[in-house]
Amino acid sequence: MTVDATDRQILAVMQRNARTPVSEIARAVGLSSAPVSRRIERMERAGVIKGYVAVIDDQRVGGLEAFIEARLVGGEDTTELERVIRTIDEVREYYTISGDPDAIVRCKVDNVEHLQRVVNALRRSGKVVGTKTLIVMSSWARAAQALRPLEPAPTNSSD
């Protein structure tokens, strides 16, 4: 599927707030609601839009967020580690990367003891030879900007 400039505009609005009504998205991109709705459905079917999530303010919910750098046992395939990662409920994201380390795991836990259990699970898997854990002190994410109200689309008036 080809994503054109209008699709990118629609995606930009939806990234700020996925709950924006189609009528508002349509105004923002200069189309009527029906073609915008069709474009969104097409992007969903094609997998361009993979899903919708709620952005949670972790500080209000409590707990810790951490990143775990993982170094794989020599010759281990990253897909094997991914199988292990998928069994750990606390894992929110998993990235294989170039260089050292081999992978980065983002997790959400209740406390330091809970974090230690997650790290131990990775180490016991037999796929990881070493880890380094980084506890998040504060964060900012572009997706969290959805909490801001959308600005109205500019209008062309020739008064």
Q: What is the pLDDT of residues 13-34, one digit of tens each?
A: 998 889 999 999 999 999 999 9
5-52 carries CATH number 3.40.640.10:
no
Predicted model pTM = 0.67
- Which pLDDT belongs to residue 145? 56
What is the CA angle 103-108-112, rounded to 5?
100
- Which is more confident, 78 or 66? 66
Q: For domain 58-135, which architecture applies?
A: 2-Layer Sandwich (3.30)
Chain centroid to CA 122: how far? 22
**What average pLDDT does range 80-105 have in this prediction?**
92
**CATH 1.10.10.10 domain residues, the chain:** 5-52
As a whole-number percent, the residues of the chain with pLDDT over 90 amount to 64
d(CA 106, CA 128): 16
CA distance 70 to 118: 12
Task: Give the residue range(s) of CATH 3.30.70.920 domains in the chain.
Answer: 58-135
Asked whether the beta carbons of 16 and 49 are under 8 A apart, the reply is no
Backbone dihedral angles phi then psi of residue 103, each to the nearest 5 degrees: -150, 155
Tokens 């037999």, residue located: 126
Contact in structure between 131 and 71 (CB atoms under 8 Å): yes
